[in-house]
Amino acid sequence: MADIKYIFVTGGVTSSLGKGIITASLAKLLQARGYSVTIQKLDPYINVDPGTLNPYEHGECYVTLDGAETDLDLGHYERFLNVPTSQANNVTTGRIYQSVINKERRGDYQGKTVQVIPHITDEIKMRIKLLGEGNKYDIILTEIGGTVGDIESLPYIESVRQLKWELGPHNCVSIHLTLVPFLSAAGESKTKPTQHSVKELLESGIQPDVLVLRTEHALGSDIKRKVALFCNVEEEAVVVSDDVSTIYEVPLKMLDEKLDRIVLRKLNLPVEADPPMKPWREFIDRLKNPKHEIHVGLVGKYVELPDAYKSIIESFSHSGSANYCKVNIEYIHSEDINENNADKKLKGLHGLVVAPGFGSRGIDGKIITAKYARENNVPFLGISLGMQCAVVEFARNVLNMEGAHSTEIDPETEYPVIDLVEEQERITENGTTMRLGGYKCRLVPGTKAYEVYGKEEITERHRHRYEFNNKYLEEFAAHGMIVSGINPESNLVEIVEIPGHRWFVAVQFHPEYSSTVVSPHPLFVNFVKECINE
Ligand code: GLN
């Protein structure tokens, strides 16, 4: 059995350089060459998982099929690789410490002093190697969050240093991503920050094998040579990543820069012809040469920070490309919509999406949006809280249930059309009562949902506490909002739709988490298709 190969990606100079995209792009190229690969993210923050983080701080919380609340970079990994990730793919410092402290309490360390080295670093190394168990993967890529030099990153960097030593040079490659800024006053790109960043890594005992230089301007070979010389890296192993118009071009860029070849050579793996990237190129070709153009309103309360809706936005790239359509997303703040201005604010949009969310802020604007879409026959996709708002709206305005609401927002409502189901009526630790991860859903033949998916049983990912209240099911159906998807085990409502409407589908789950480049999500694809058919 061949050894598993490890690739570590660190970042220097600044955050937000797109380490996740570079890592996912390299993984894509290696996967296209036939290797089985996975990507792991190590996050240096102390939250046990990102589930409790405010989206304003850290963007969207991405949910895996096995129900882990993870960093949004895992979404990129899945969108690029089209293979599911799991809890093991995202480890935070909080989780590492939690597990070490639990072991200490259990007496596992037999009275020894518990320290960052070796106990925390051993736990980190164990988590990195865990993914390699079962021989599922040939290559494991590990992205270290944060920036080299941060206090928080030190135990991770030390763990990488130790692993490089333990695994040997041909089983391990370390890639360092840095920024090469352009100073317009001097008319020059500057390599000094990169040199300092590599020095910092060297102080921690890691000599990077490959450098990826992020830059807004093309860099000449003189810069590459200079960086290679001063950072002690082969010239060929200095790779440039300049700005591209879509993140999906990065794998092709890295292919041109031969990043995959350099890495394979360093890992002593055969380097043959280029990997087949035809479907990927076709995807980009359709994305960049659309035949149609639509404007979709995305109504939510975090619109100032589009990262909060990352997966939804990317799902529109995938479904747009599938339809040869440029999808312009108009971000609309749900707090800005009221009964008086809805017509003005929402008019002219080809489709409306009401976003997921928690809590009452902006809820009225979301309910009004659902009403506008229903009454004006505008294609509508409601996602999780968006679905719940559509249900509340229908109850109030069609079933005349005045004050109908979700008990999340109004616990005293006379018509709790969205409510906690019995088994969830216990509030324990933050996060633990949520329905998280993949659940089966049976689709009802003859419905829009069934037509869209083309099959009877699907699995979709969830992240919510509240549910459609089945007490009202028949009344809704009798007045035109039907259930088209239901959980076969619990009978919980997963999809509602309005058959009399052009395209009105609202889902309790999150389709956006499972849309990928090669497998765009059918709900988004069909929604965009309908929006094009004005
Ligand atoms: N706040 C709602 C619930 O908990 C919806 C959550 C969401 O949109 N993901 O049920």
> Rounded to the nearest 10 degrees, what angle do helices 522-532 and 310-322 cross at?
60
The pLDDT score that the predictor gives to residue 423 is 65
The pLDDT score that the predictor gives to residue 14 is 87
Task: Specify the residue for token string 């059918």.
Answer: 522
What would the DSSP string read from start to end of 244-295?
-SSGGGHHHHHHHTTHHHHHHHHTT----SPPP-HHHHHHHHHHHS-SEEEE
Is the minimum distance from the CB of 408 to ligand 1 under 6 angstroms?
yes
Is the minimum distance from the CB of 464 to ligand 1 under 6 angstroms?
yes
The pLDDT score that the predictor gives to residue 432 is 54
Give the number of the atom of ligand 1 that is nearest the alpha carbon of residue 386: 8
**What is the mean pLDDT of each successive set of 10 residues along the chain, which is 534 residues long?**
88 90 97 96 90 82 94 95 94 96 95 95 95 91 94 96 93 97 91 96 96 92 94 96 94 96 96 91 96 98 91 98 98 96 96 95 97 98 98 98 97 96 56 84 97 97 96 97 96 96 98 97 98 89
Predicted model pTM? 0.94
Is the minimum distance from the CB of 358 to ligand 1 under 6 angstroms?
yes
Distance CA 279, CA 188 (A): 38
Is 412 within 8 Å of 383 (Cβ atoms)?
no
Please list, residue by residue across 153-167, b when 16 or more beta carbons sit within 10 angstroms of its beta carbon and e when fewer do.
bbbbbbbbbbbbeee
Is the minimum distance from the CB of 251 to ligand 1 under 6 angstroms?
no
93 CB contacts (<8 Å, ≥6 apart)? 43, 44, 45, 46, 152, 155
Three-state secondary structure call for residue 178: strand
> Rounded to the nearest 10 degrees, what angle do helices 192-203 and 221-231 cross at?
30
Distance CA 491, CA 418 (A): 15
Is the minimum distance from the CB of 11 to ligand 1 under 6 angstroms?
no
Of 511, 413, 520, the residue nearest 471 (C-alpha)? 413
Is the minimum distance from the CB of 357 to ligand 1 under 6 angstroms?
yes
Q: To test ligand 1's pocket by mutation, which of 69, 408, 460 has the most ligand atoms within 8 angstroms of CB? A: 408
Is 407 within 8 Å of 418 (Cβ atoms)?
yes
